[in-house]
Amino acid sequence: MRLRFAGSLLLAATLLAVAASGADPSSYAGIAGATLVDSGTLVVSGGGPFDRTEQFEFLRRPDGGYTLLNTMTATDGRYRAQARFDLDGDWNSQQAHGIGLYDGKAVAIAMQRRGKKIEIQVTPLERSVPDASRTTTAVCDPSCFINMSPSATAMFVMTRHYDFARGGEQEFQWAGQDLDRVRTLSGGKARLVFVGQKELAIASGERLRLRHFTFVESLPKPDGGVFNLHFDLWTDDVHRPMGFRVRSPGGAAPGVVAWRRGYEEIRSENLH
């Protein structure tokens, strides 16, 4: 209760700071006339400082596009961050806005796609912090998805672009900005493969068609090298996020594992 109360105070203070800064607080409050497509919570565990919950809503806007609203709360109380991702009617990333914490200080982040680049604006929100606004860019050539770490929910949009008729490995580009530390992702890639689908009956009586994907995320390193992360990703047959894990090399037990709240009973049989 204490962590939730502290998080609520931080959120309230941050929204007041957003309003005072001239940013648009409605970016984090929802969209008028939108239709709810899906909502839920991912519970992330096994990663120590990466453990968190991710509450999400996928909305269909009146203009035909889609919006993902995402709130990430660290299990240890270090941060509570919010993100909004706007996509067009074909689920292509257009822009994103976020409220995060850099060294414990609230910041607003705006990411806007401009041709083959993503323009990223970071603005401090607390009066005690000198104005250190900065603008950077990330590569988006010829196109890319936008993410704001620690959000993992945004990566599930990839499955909506996977060509099942073609099959095999399919590559997607990523650009991003962290909400909990000063870091920009430029030139990231994910190589996604559809593994298969199975039908499950769960205790609620629901019959679930669970899809399994694997992908390798390649992140450029400052020294010119590449760092690879291996993932499993699960959705249902209408692309609802169900779970993911970071696969450890050499067959070791998985580290970070996430599953959708309410579907924990099917987690164990898929983590092998």
Per-residue pLDDT at 255? 72
Instruction: Evaluate whether 134 touches 166 at the Cβ level (below 8 Å).
Output: no
Check: CB of residue 253 under 8 Å from CB of residue 232: no
Q: Which two tokens stand for residue 85?
A: 């991702």
Structure tokens at 35: 């239709």
CA 127 – CA 132 distance, rounded (Å): 12
Q: What is the pLDDT of residues 210-266, one digit of tens each?
A: 999 999 988 877 777 778 888 999 999 999 999 998 876 555 555 788 999 988 887
Which pLDDT does position 103 carry in this prediction?
86
Q: Which residues of the chain have pLDDT under 70?
A: 1-30, 127-132, 248-254, 268-272
Residue type, 20: A
Q: Identify the sign of the CA torsion 11, 16, 22, 25.
A: positive
Locus of tokens 């992140």: 219
Phi, psi (rounded to 5 degrees) for 116? -100, 20
Buried-exposed string 186-200: b where 16+ CB fall within 10 A, e elsewhere:
bbbbbebebeeeeee
Domain that holds residue 68: 2-270
Percentage of the chain with pLDDT > 70?
Answer: 82
Residue where the block lists tokens 């005072």: 20
pLDDT of residue 48: 82
pTM (two decimals): 0.84
Total count of domains within the chain: 1
- Structure token pair of residue 59: 């909305």
Name the 3-class secondary structure at 270.
Answer: helix
pLDDT tens digit sequence for 93-113: 999 999 999 888 899 999 999
Question: CA-CA distance, 141 to 196, in Å (whole number)?
Answer: 30
Query: Residue 260 to residues 3, 15, 39, 79, 244: CA-CA distances in angstroms?
Result: 21, 28, 10, 21, 9
Query: What are the CA-CA distances from residue 131 to residues 19, 46, 79, 108, 134 (Å)?
Result: 16, 37, 21, 12, 9
